[in-house]
Structure 1
Amino acid sequence: MQDSTITVQGRVASVPEMKVSKNNNPFASFRVASTPRRQVSGAPGTYEDGETSWFTVFAWGNLGANVLRSIEKGQPVVVHGRLSAREFKRDDGSLGTSVSIVANGVGHDLTWGQTVYEKVSKPSYGSGDKHDEALRTIQAESEGYGDPQRDEYLLAERPGERRAEGAGDEGGEAVTGPLVEEPAA
């Protein structure tokens, strides 16, 4: 089987969240919105926005831990990874399409600003920030991978507080079938 890879430039459209599969495999998840900007034909210097594409991004292990510490809603990012698309059935019976990326790399888009790189061998804890427990869980459990689309998972809203979520929950929509395959170890 050949994988389809993609690189997307866009803005982080949701707060990155740490989730844990029912097999205790942690991952970070967030949405990216990518809107192309095109020059208007016959009007030099005039531009218009194209149609926005939406992607759900999954980042595993240390990448997920670093995403939680580095990426915030609204920031411009570049995401590279394996592309997956699938149809799902909404509660009203209509069909929708969900597109996701299992990330190999995530970073700030330096076209729009500067960032400071800090190398870490393991995520550090004790800073008291909102992601300490999530990062501790990711480091402790980052050996294997689950599947965020097929596995039930827990959402760590705040350190020490979790609420159950359904497999591949699309904001209350009934989801059928797998979205992404388990990443190769």
Structure 2
Amino acid sequence: MFDTYVTIVGNVLSAPESRRTVRTGTAVTNFKVASTARRFDRATETWVDGDSLRVKVACWRRLGEHVATSVVQGDPVIVTGRLSTREYETEGGEKRISYELEAVAVGHDLARGTGRFARWRPAVTEMVEDGSEDEFVGGEATEALEEELGELVGV
């Protein structure tokens, strides 16, 4: 009922991999993202890495297609989605937990580079003129109201 939405700012760790589900044929693209804290160490006067978070990201359908053509390993990204954990056991019997993010939005981090956006537009279907498209709406015959509308608005 309540989804946990989070936003992660980090770098793409693995090249996006596109797949299709066996049962439904739905497209999904997966990649890993890492976010590492940085802090300034006053003693050495250098920046040092802190703790890091590594998350598997799943991008479904059209988002996955766009990620596969737009994102490469090493890119700085911002990912928003539903966070969950998955518990599993290795072949050696060790219990593990992984973090998975079902993305609803993925974008390049423009604080660390530039980009150009190309909007996706679906292919336009050509209309075939048969001369009756204005006369029928929802399968029912219609007639113009232009004279009546002019009288209603006082034209």
CA RMSD of aligned residues (A): 1.6
1:47 and 1:80 map into 2 onto residues whose CA distance is: 27
**How far 1:87 sits from its partner (Å)?**
1.4
**How far 1:106 sits from its partner (Å)?**
0.2
Question: Which residue is equivalent to 2:19?
Answer: 19
Question: Which residue is equivalent to 1:129?
Answer: none
Q: What secondary structure is seen at the aligned counterpart in 2 of 1:51?
A: strand
**How far 1:46 sits from its partner (Å)?**
2.9
Question: Which residue is equivalent to 1:75?
Answer: 75
Q: What secondary structure is seen at the aligned counterpart in 1 of 2:29?
A: strand
**How far 1:50 sits from its partner (Å)?**
1.0
* 8 Å contact from structure 2 (residues 27, 65) kept in 1: no
2:58 and 2:49 map into 1 onto residues whose CA distance is: 26
| Compared CA separation, residues 121 and 111, structure 1 to 2 (3 A) | same
**How far 1:39 sits from its partner (Å)?**
2.3
Question: Which residue is equivalent to 1:56?
Answer: 56
Name the % identity: 36
Verify: 1:34 aligned to 2:35, yes or no.
yes
Deviation readout 1:61-120 (Å, 9 max, x if unpaired): 111111011000011100000001121101111111110100010011111100110111
Question: Which residue is equivalent to 1:9?
Answer: 9
1:56 and 1:101 map into 2 onto residues whose CA distance is: 6
1:106 and 1:121 map into 2 onto residues whose CA distance is: 18
Question: Which residue is equivalent to 2:129?
Answer: none
* 8 Å contact from structure 2 (residues 37, 51) kept in 1: yes
Which residues of structure 1 form unaligned runs of 5+? 124-185
Verify: 1:85 aligned to 2:85, yes or no.
yes
**How far 1:29 sits from its partner (Å)?**
0.7
* 8 Å contact from structure 1 (residues 62, 122) kept in 2: no
Q: What secondary structure is seen at the aligned counterpart in 2 of 1:50?
A: strand
Matching residue's letter, 2:117: Y
Return the index of the structure with the highest Cα Rg.
2
Matching residue's letter, 2:71: I
Q: How many residues align?
A: 122
Q: Which has the higher strand share?
A: 2
Q: What secondary structure is seen at the aligned counterpart in 2 of 1:65?
A: helix
Q: What secondary structure is seen at the aligned counterpart in 2 of 1:63?
A: helix
Q: What secondary structure is seen at the aligned counterpart in 2 of 1:36?
A: strand
**How far 1:44 sits from its partner (Å)?**
8.3
Higher relative contact order, structure no. (Cα contacts within 8 Å, ≥ 6 residues apart): 1
